[in-house]
Amino acid sequence: MSSYADRFSEALERPGKSVAGVAAAMGVTKQAVYSIRRGQTKAASAENNAAAAMYFECDPSWLARGVGSPNWGSIKSPDLAPAQTRGRIPLISWVQASSWCDPARDSTMGWGNVERWLDSPVPFADGSFALRVRGDSMTAPTGNSRTYPEGCIIFINPELRSPNNGDRIIACLVSSDDVTFKVYKNEDGRQWLQPLNPSHEPIRESFNVIGTVFGKWEDG
């Protein structure tokens, strides 16, 4: 099977695609894109992979894991054509999200009342849901494009519960069943939840992963 770097490079070499373009779509530097191409970065985060797939106009599952075929043109870049929806995702409350703290919860269970249904421009797994960000713990310092200000909406895939270091995740704290949105960190066998806002402390208590963030949407 081809590596992530191979698939990423194949997509980047298609007509009309550029390092600067995919870097802007992913919200990373051009140096980060070069690192991906050289295989120095194992894989992009779920969110960045979805953004890259939209820019490349390919299937995100193929790009991320080599599953199936690229299906070039299956997803249109918003710079080239209106976004194609792939279904609708429920925007739910944080209280509803806490139902995933129950080990018996699975994607076949309904949500009941939801705030609204949101169109998704990329394919998503059964049970995917959206949350409105609370507080400023994931508001990054000025100059960081990967920021999640209070009120923006994040999309979560509950089937992705084995995140990579640096992925944005929704987690349930074991001690309280509180649900939180943070960056997943796993270094030297240690796991913790890292806020983007340096004024907030990392969370180092035990937690269970509810799902991985694969997209963000903001009004205006």
Return the structure tokens found at 169.
Answer: 């995740």
Q: How many residues does the chain have?
A: 220
CB 148 within 8 A of CB 139: yes
pLDDT value at residue 84: 43
How confident is the model at residue 83, as a pLDDT? 40
61-102 pLDDT, tens digit each: 888 888 888 888 765 544 433 344 467 889 999 988 888 777
Residue 32 has pLDDT above 90, yes or no: no
Q: How far apart are CA 17 and CA 37, in angstroms?
A: 14
Q: Which of 32-46, 57-71, 191-205 has the highest mean pLDDT?
A: 191-205
Architecture of the domain delimited by 88-217: Ribbon (2.10)
Domain 4-65, CATH: 1.10.260.40
Where do the domains of the chain lie?
Answer: 4-65, 88-217
Q: 203 pLDDT exceeds 70?
A: yes
Give the Cα separation of 32 and 38 in Å (integer).
10
**Mean pLDDT, rounded, for 2-21:** 88
Tokens of 9: 């490079």
Lowest mean pLDDT among 6-10, 67-71, 190-194, 211-215: 67-71
- Closest by CA to 141, choosing from 198, 213, 218, is 198
Instruction: Check residue 195 and give its pLDDT.
Output: 95
Helices (H), 3-144: 4-12, 19-26, 30-37, 46-56, 60-65, 94-97
Q: What is the pLDDT of residue 79?
A: 41
Q: Which helix (H) or strand (E) holds 180?
A: strand 179-187
Per-residue confidence band for 135, with pLDDT thresholds at 50, 70 and 90: very high
* Residues linked to residue 217 through DSSP beta bridges, in sequence order: 153
Which pLDDT belongs to residue 43? 64
Give me the mean pLDDT over the 205-216 stretch: 91
How far, in Å, CA of 2 to CA of 9, rounded?
A: 11
Q: At what angle do helices 30-37 and 19-26 cross, to 10 degrees?
A: 110
**What integer pLDDT is reported at residue 74 of this predicted model?**
60
Residue 189: its pLDDT value, please? Answer: 86
Q: For 101-111, how does the pLDDT look when each residue is reduced to its tens digit (9 = 90+)? A: 776 665 555 66
Q: Are 27 and 21 in contact (CB under 8 A)?
A: no
Q: Which residues, listed in sequence order, are joined to residue 53 by a DSSP beta bridge?
A: none
